[in-house]
Amino acid sequence: MEGASATRLRFKGKADSSSHKKRTHSDRHPIQDQTHRYHRSSQRRGRSRSRSRSRSPRRRSRSPDDPSRTHRRHDSSHTSSSRSRRTPSKYKVTPAGYAPETYTDYVFDTAAQCEQAAAFALEQERDLEEIRQLGREQEKRHLDDFWLRDRVDDLEFHTSHFSGWDMPTAGRSPSSNPSASRNSREQHINAMPEDDYASYMRRGMGRSTQDREAQEWAEWVQEKEQNRYQEAKEEQRWKDEQKRQRRQKRKEREQLEAEEEAAAHAGVGSHQEDILESDSLANRLRKRVLVDSARREYESRWKILTEDTKFVSMDTIAWPPLGTTPTRASLSSSSLRTDGLSLFEFLFFGTNAKERDLRKQILRREQLKFHPDKFRQRFGARLPRPFEEAALITGEREMILEKVDRVAQALNEIGEMI
C-alpha cells in the first residue's frame, strides 16, 4: 500500500477494536462513501499519469558487493534523516455534524481535495437545514389548522347556542348537540402525541399571554392619550384665559388713556370755549380777524428772515405769542393771554379736538423753526456777536437764544397735550 497517496481513516471513540472485518458499501456513511470513491479515482488518475511519462530503462540487479550499489546505499543513509524530519504536506478537514461517532477526521492529500470535501459538507448541511425547515413549517401548519378548527368549533358552539341550534354551520350539518364539537375537540387533543400536545399547550398559553399583554398595552396607550388630551385642553384653556385678561387690561388701559386725553383736551379748550360762550358774535369775529392778521404778519416776517442775509435781532425775528402756554395745572385768564391771544389760539384757532392730525402738522412745523440746534445752525452766523457794531443791545445774542429755548419748551408742552 502506497503511504503517500493512500487515504487514511482514523478510528476512535466507540469503534470496536476486536472487529476487523471489512466494511461494506451499505455500512459506510454518505460522506465516507463519497470520500472513498473520490480518493480511489484520484489514485487511479495518478497511476495512469505516472505510466504515461517517459520511463528510464530497467536496471539490472546488482550484487551486494557492487561499488555503485554501496555508494547509493551510503548516500541514501545520509539523506533519509532529512527526509524523516520533513513535514508531510497533508490537509485535514472535519465536517461538523456529519462524521460518524467512530470517526473524527479525514486526512487528504491536496488542498483541492480538502476544499471539495468542505464544499460537499456545506451542501449536505444546507440540504438538511432545508429538510428541517420544511418539517417545522409542516408542523406549524398542522398546529395552525388545529387552532383554527378549535376556534371555528367555539364560534359554531356560541352561534348555535344563541340561535337555538338552528343555524347551519359552514361546510357541516347543523348539530342538535351543543357539546358535540367540544367532545370531538377533546378526543382530538387526547389522541395527540406528547410532543404535539406540549407544543399545543405552549402555543395556547403563549397566545393567551400575548392577548392579555396586548390588551394591557392598548389600555395603557388609551389612558396616556386621554391624559395627554386633558393636559392639552387645560393648557389651551389657561392660554385663552391669559389672552382674555391681557385683552381686558389693554382695553382698560386704552380707555383710561382716552379719558385722560379727553380731559386734557377739555382742559386746554375749556378756556377758549368759555371765551367763545361769554363773548358776543362781534367779539368772536374780531378775534378771528386778529388771529388771521397775526398769522399773515408772522409768515411774512419769517419769509423775509429766511431770504435776507443781514444780521438778525430781537425785532427782526418773528416770534409767536408767548403770553400763554396752556397746561393742565394752570389755565387762568392772565396766564393764557398776551395781546389778546394765546399760543394755543394762535396755532389752532378754527380747529377742534377731532382734528388731531392737522394740529400735529401745524405744531411740527413750528417746532422745526424754533428747535435750538437747528436755529443755531441756520442763523448762528447772522446772530450779533459781543463788541460789534451790529450788537445794538449788550447780550442780545444770549437773549435771542434764550427766547428760542422758551418757544421750543412751550411748543413741547402743547405737543404733550394734543
For residue 62, give the 3-state DSSP assignment.
coil
Residue 56 has pLDDT above 50, yes or no: yes
* pLDDT for res 241: 92
Q: Which amino acid belongs to residue 302?
A: W
Q: How far is CA 279 from the centre of its chain?
A: 78
Domain extents in the chain: 7-12+26-43+88-191, 279-417
* pLDDT for res 18: 44
Query: To the nearest whole number, what is the mean pLDDT of the chain?
Result: 67
Of the listed ranges 47-56, 145-154, 312-321, the one predicted with least confidence? 47-56
- Report the C-alpha gap between 323 and 272 in whole angstroms: 15
Going by the DSSP 8-state scheme, the letter that residue 259 receives in this structure is: H
CB 116 within 8 A of CB 103: no
**58-62, 187-191, 327-331, 394-398: which has the highest mean pLDDT?**
394-398
In angstroms, the Cα distances linking 119 to 35, 97, 116, 133, 302 are: 12, 14, 5, 21, 115
Of the listed ranges 83-87, 127-131, 142-146, 402-406, the one predicted with least confidence? 83-87
More confident residue, 281 or 123: 123
Of the listed ranges 33-47, 77-91, 179-193, the one predicted with least confidence? 77-91
Beta bridge partners of 92: 107
H-helix or E-strand spanning residue 107 = strand 106-108
Residue 407 has pLDDT above 60, yes or no: yes
**pTM assigned to the model:** 0.33
* pLDDT for res 42: 66
pLDDT interval class at 52 (50, 70, 90)? low
